[in-house]
Structure 1
């Protein structure tokens, strides 16, 4: 089941978007007319994508998008009649996946959705890879430090210290990092 959030203060735009999204296979389309409501609905209904107008009452679309992206990693497309450099800059900084200018052409919606979804997936994959690399680097630092302690305290060469830690990890069915952390605790 595919779900979309449409937020624009102009009911005719919302109606047009809802119609086109239904044609594109979205089963549920949630709509509202202001940015605060968009954030609340996004967190409540958990849509697969959000399409937000930039100029809305209570909270503008870029701010609403930023608030939504902090909690949900969904693609967001902005609708705007005014695409000034400041709006584009704020949109980029907020993680917006695409911008459609008003009046939008219905045939532009599907490609914008596809690109925004691909962009959001790519960003999330990259974030996961960065986290994995950070974890690997942190583990490597801990292992190197523990290896240094074994070399110093037990007079082992670097390969010997590494093999000893490796053997302990296999014998105790622990990760190298867990063994290294245990060695550092005895320090």
Structure 2
């Protein structure tokens, strides 16, 4: 019986990468993914192929077996995640603490236990996508915070240079930088960097 899928995360995905050295598992996954609404399933049987296909075909999600020839699923996942910000689900028969820890370090977004059960697939995909999205949002927030802190340091340094070189008070130096930023339509950081180049 075919199920009509209404889950918003699943139907927004089009290409899936499936990597397992057991053809019967690949076929089962492929059939279920097509039923869930994926337009294309990219298949392979070893970790090296998985990395290469991921970079070539740019899938929306990858499902990798933990134990594969040439390159295991953890290593392949880490390499894929370093280039593509896609959710990766790990197929494994063993969920011991060491495997879970390695999975976290490799950027794995979810697990599917072997033997694979078809009705477990869409919840795993939904949760993996939600987890991957949360991780990317957190990374962006951290990057934004780092950028803000770095900008603040540069602005403070430039303000100090103006105070020293032009005999300005701290509020005067800050106002001068603000006026320059408005007049030149530049950010405060850009003005601060220019001041450090010309005044230092």
TM-score by length of 1: 0.96
Q: 2:112 matched to 1:112? A: no
Query: How many residue pairs align between the two structures?
Result: 187
Cα distance in structure 2, aligned partners of 1:31 and 1:172: 54
Given candidates 49, 70, 75, the residue that maps to 2:61 is 49
1:65 is matched with which residue?
A: 77
1:171 is matched with which residue?
A: 183
Q: Secondary structure at the residue paired with 1:115? A: helix
Q: How does 1:34-183 map to 2 (within 5 A)?
A: 34-183=46-195
Shift of 1:57: 0.9
Cα distance in structure 1, aligned partners of 2:126 and 2:73: 20
Q: How does 1:6-25 map to 2 (within 5 A)?
A: 6-25=18-37
Q: Which structure 1 residue ranges, 5 or more long, are not aligned? A: none
Give CA-to-partner distance per residue, 1:134-176, whole Å, 9 cap, x none.
1111111111111112222222221111111111111122211
Q: Secondary structure at the residue paired with 1:165? A: helix
Q: Which structure 2 residue ranges, 5 or more long, are not aligned? A: 1-12
Q: Which runs of 4+ in 1 moved over 6 A?
A: none
Shift of 1:72: 0.7
Cα distance in structure 1, aligned partners of 2:53 and 2:193: 45
Shift of 1:85: 2.2
Cα distance in structure 2, aligned partners of 1:59 and 1:154: 62
Cα distance in structure 2, aligned partners of 1:135 and 1:82: 41
Q: Secondary structure at the residue paired with 1:174? A: coil
Cα distance in structure 2, aligned partners of 1:60 and 1:172: 54
